A and B are shown apart, each in its own frame.
Chain A
Amino acid sequence: GAGVSQSPSNKVTEKGKDVELRCDPISGHTALYWYRQSLGQGLEFLIYFQGNSAPDKSGLPSDRFSAERTGGSVSTLTIQRTQQEDSAVYLCASSSGLAGPYEQYFGPGTRLTVT
């Protein structure tokens, strides 16, 4: 079956612009996660959605970052007024079930470059 998909695969933007990154989880998976992978910080958790519950936003680095999940499926991560330190690969993952730790399936990522 189809895995987690992310779009775009690459995004180059100018400093100060807003960007939106999209994640399509595996069908039927109730949990969705965003992580960021950068040279300086490694792999960092950003945000977690589970069903209709309030998301766990504890990993978002600043209020320029936000995410939503519409209809319990597709998710969009938005970065406003991008900065050069936002350059990274943004990974999305999904998993099934309400109780962990179910396996998280990762997408291929979106490589964001802020110039």
Chain B
Amino acid sequence: AQSVTQLDSQVPVFEEAPVELRCNYSSSVSVYLFWYVQYPNQGLQLLLKYLSGSTLVKGINGFEAEFNKSQTSFHLRKPSVHISDTAEYFCAVSVQGAQKLVFGQGTRLTINP
């Protein structure tokens, strides 16, 4: 079975500072990887996804993530955060050939002015 671990439940950062949200996964087969964002009182929105090819993927709102197969990681980064990035971020994995997403526990990103 697959599992996803988000190593930080909460990450506070100052505005315009860089941020990294960590995600590790466990799977015995090839996977697809995703990051979703959930703004307060809203549904989930896809930030970016890794399917194959280049291990560095760029998403919306200036976010990017790097797939590291040897480390089984898919960390999310942004070089300079904005107040509007305050949200909960979920890393998710799906097994190739399957459809359901397995989510991590989420990381709450708080941006301080």
Contact surface of A with B, Cβ cutoff 8 Å: 4, 31, 33, 35, 42-45, 48, 50, 56, 58-59, 91, 93, 95, 100-101, 103-109
Contacts and interface: CB of A to CB of B under 8 A. Distances in A.
7 contacts: A31-B99, A35-B101, A58-B100, A101-B94, A103-B49, A105-B46, A106-B45
Interface stretch (B17-25, B62-70, B75-83, B103-111): B103-111
B90 interface: yes
Interface SS of chain A: helix, strand, loop or mixed?
Answer: strand
Interface string B41-62: 0111110010100000000000
Interface of B: 32, 34, 36, 42-46, 49, 51, 90, 92, 94, 96-106
A103 B50 CA distance: 11
Contacts of B106: 42-43
A108 B42 contact: yes
A48 B42 CA distance: 22
A49 B45 CA distance: 20
Contacts of A105: 46
A42 B97 contact: no
Report which residue of A42, A43, A58, A109 has the largest number of chain B beta carbons within 10 angstroms of its beta carbon: A43
Contacts of B103: 35, 42-44
A100 B94 contact: yes
